[in-house]
Structure 1
Amino acid sequence: MSVLRFFLTLFMFICLLAGSSVVVTTLCLMLRFPPLLFAVVLACALLVIVLRQLRRHNPATV
């Protein structure tokens, strides 16, 4: 059982390391290429607008 827990912990650590490196790489690319930063900001704004519309359309869900 401890071997399984070790491999699970190792897998979680590797996934966390990979995810954080992807976030850092994306941030560096966004600072290097301003159109990519603009595209990400625009996508976030559109997501907020769509979520507001969905919440207004169906107020029963939280």
Structure 2
Amino acid sequence: MTLLRFLLCLFIFVGALAAAGAVVLSILLMLSFPPLLLAVMLACWILSRLLRLLSSDQDNPN
């Protein structure tokens, strides 16, 4: 059981490390290629507008 818990913690650590590396790499890529940064910012803005629209539809069922 201890070995299983160790392997689980090891896989979680490796996954978190890979995710952090992917975030840092994507940020560096966005800073070196400005149109990609613009596209990500536009996608985040569209997503926030869509989520706000969907949440207001759930509040008002008409």
TM-score (norm 1): 0.93
Percent of paired sites with the same residue: 48
CA RMSD of aligned residues (A): 1.0
Which residue in 1 is equivalent to 2:44? 44
Query: Unaligned 5+ residue runs, structure 1?
Result: none
Greater than 3 Å deviation, 4+ residue runs: none
SS in 1 for 2:59: coil
TM-score with structure 2 setting the length: 0.93
| Alignment: residue pair count | 60
